[in-house]
Amino acid sequence: MSVSEREPVIHTADLRKDFTVSTRAGLLRRTRRTVAAVDGVSLRVERGEMVGYIGPNGAGKSTTLKMLTGVLMPSGGELSVCGLRPVAQRTRLARHIGVVFGQRSQLWWDLPLAESFRLLRYIYRVPAADHASRLGECRRLLDLDGFLDTPVRQLSLGQRMRGEITAALLHAPAVLFLDEPTIGLDVISKQAVRAFLADLGSRGDTTLMLTTHDLADIEKLCRRLIVIDHGRVVHDGTLPELHARYDSRRRVVVDLDTPWTGRVELPGVAPEAVEADGYRVTFGLSGGTAGELVAALARDGALRDVSVLEPDIEDVVARLYAEPTR
């Protein structure tokens, strides 16, 4: 592979994409205006990262992915993927990337799934042994055997998505781009797809970049979250960093034998709510651990029951989307 190990797999600097849209302004007149779909995005993604590219509807996610995969020409800025310029070197780039976009299938509608896989081997010129071993692994991990001989048009959405992911990986791409990989899937297929992608990402050879509105995808798959809104990056970091930024704490709910007297002095631990006549207290943890709190309460002999509530990613993302763009 020509891609240097030290180079970032994805690099953009001040990447932009403007669209000109014309809207009706009266009976005969139309006005034209420019929409900055991607408005100065600078990213550096290293080999093996698992990146969630998230944001509200119309934020610019698909437009960014289309530029990264060579489908759309940027209006400005710099862009390289696997050391290549996506539009100018699209054919070479295709050997280094895999793409799973919901609306555009890479499978042949009227052929059995297995035939599509066979054709892709010739298109990407994958050596027979490599193809067989990768396909064997996908068949096992994505449970494809029950529908390998079914024409693609007869597959369920979940079966087709498992087929699409396999098709995107048969040439061992360095980067896999996925646009909403679990949207519309049943629970079993969602779990199968997530477990497969988590396993693929954990091996560290393949860089994963996915857009999703599904918070479970974010929690299970995205070690790094890049949040985009109105074409601009508004957060770039890990999920715990996102929680810290929005002060979303772990909470510990304790049921007591005797009403709460207001005693427990631990740094980073504060009672947030006292209910049930003082028999139930919710503590927010911003520094201390649940274990320290439980030990302190147990010393007073007052403890009956304990539950720990993890911070809610749904709340955090909703708040993040509600924040005005800077």
* Minimum CB–partner distance for residue 138 and ligand ATP (Å): 27
- CB-based contacts of 81, cutoff 8 Å, min separation 6: 9, 10, 11, 68, 69, 70, 93, 96, 97, 175
- CB-based contacts of 312, cutoff 8 Å, min separation 6: 248
Closer to ligand ATP by Cβ: residue 6 or 33? 33
Residue 214: left if φ>0, alpha if ψ -120 to 50, beta else—which one?
beta
Closer to ligand ATP by Cβ: residue 177 or 260? 177
Instruction: Please give the structure tokens belonging to residue 198.
Output: 């988590």
Residues that bind ligand ATP (CB under 6 A): 19, 21, 35, 37, 55, 57-63
| CA distance linking residue 236 with residue 224, whole number of Å | 7
| CA distance linking residue 86 with residue 93, whole number of Å | 6
SS3 sequence of 130-162: HHHHHHHHHHHHCCCHHHCCCEHHHCCHHHHHH
* Minimum CB–partner distance for residue 234 and ligand ATP (Å): 13
* Minimum CB–partner distance for residue 54 and ligand ATP (Å): 9
| CA distance linking residue 149 with residue 64, whole number of Å | 35
Closer to ligand ATP by Cβ: residue 61 or 134? 61
Closer to ligand ATP by Cβ: residue 58 or 237? 58
Closer to ligand ATP by Cβ: residue 57 or 91? 57
Are 176 and 198 a contacting pair, CB within 8 Å? Answer: no
* Minimum CB–partner distance for residue 17 and ligand ATP (Å): 8
* Minimum CB–partner distance for residue 61 and ligand ATP (Å): 4
Closer to ligand ATP by Cβ: residue 19 or 109? 19
DSSP three-state, residue 24 = strand
* Minimum CB–partner distance for residue 60 and ligand ATP (Å): 4
